[in-house]
Structure 1
């Protein structure tokens, strides 16, 4: 494990960005497999509370994948050149796993102010999906409605994830 908090946060940020870009540019099973390797490296080199962080990542994957699946079924989000799957594809699920690591490390500062997640999450979440659409990984069938729905989802899910993280950290640390 990297001893420096700054070093851990920097590596976490770089690993997430690399994994996100890989999954978006090459959506599929191979990218998801690389994301799993990135998650393993994160757990070895970055994580300081492996048990609680692993559980947090698992919960976030489930919640995020359910949200993506809802958006796919509702027509808020679509996959380029593919029929609507019943559940989020594996590469989107992998991105959720990678993203969850940032909430424990490089994005943990967002939880320091109670209002900050509500202000930052809606535009940031929407921007991530908009960026993925510009790179061809997903489509936003009605861009305005899609981005507003995604922002609303992130307005609810992001603070909930931070609350879950806080609960897990406190519960499993004692």
Structure 2
């Protein structure tokens, strides 16, 4: 239980560093959070695959939304800023830990995604001065629908990599 609480607190610390610090030196806090996380997990290989997959998939999703005009960072760009991409990496650190309870049944993840993600985006947009050109409520509704699907998919990544790791351990014991 203490590790789950620490995982949640480290996520929140990283979230604040990203949103308040932008692409500045505050991102070193994220590096520290990731270092602590990786020191605590039992399998760097399984967790590393998860972190990379969520980082890439999430960055692609948010960059797609950026190009659709859902977000405006005040300058022309094709890809989301690093601070926003790193939020995906931080989210990945929670999937097997403090958010593991949202994996089963699938609707828990959907519900958390539909409610929590739009609030997180809204808070982040307010603090980081990101505008929502479609309007606040249409953007939050769109994000709720997207995240109702995204969370179960992210938990699917976590489940896949855990299963691969456990299968690899089983094979090593048998050989």
Matches within 5 A, 1:72-151: 72-79=66-73, 82-141=74-133, 142-151=135-144
- 18, 28, 40: which is aligned to 2:23? 28
> Normalising to structure 2: TM-score of the pair?
0.89
Question: Which runs of 5 or more residues in structure 2 are unaligned?
Answer: 168-175
Pair 109,139 (structure 1): closer, same or farther in 2 beyond 3 Å? same
Question: Which runs of 5 or more residues in structure 1 are unaligned?
Answer: 1-5
Query: 1:10 aligns to what?
Result: 5
Asked if the contact 2:14/2:90 (under 8 Å) is kept, the reply is yes
Q: How many residues align?
A: 166
> Normalising to structure 1: TM-score of the pair?
0.89
- CA distance in 1 between counterparts of 2:27 and 2:86 reads 5
Quick check: which has more Rg, 1 or 2?
2
Deviating more after overlay: 27-36 vs 62-71: 27-36
CA RMSD after TM alignment: 1.4
Match of 1:22, SS state, is helix
Alpha-carbon shift at residue 137 of structure 1 (Å): 4.0
Superposed CA deviations along residues 33-57 of structure 1, whole A, max 9, x for unmatched, are 321221011111x312221011101
Runs in 1 of length 4+ with deviation above 4 angstroms? none
Query: 1:171 aligns to what?
Result: 164
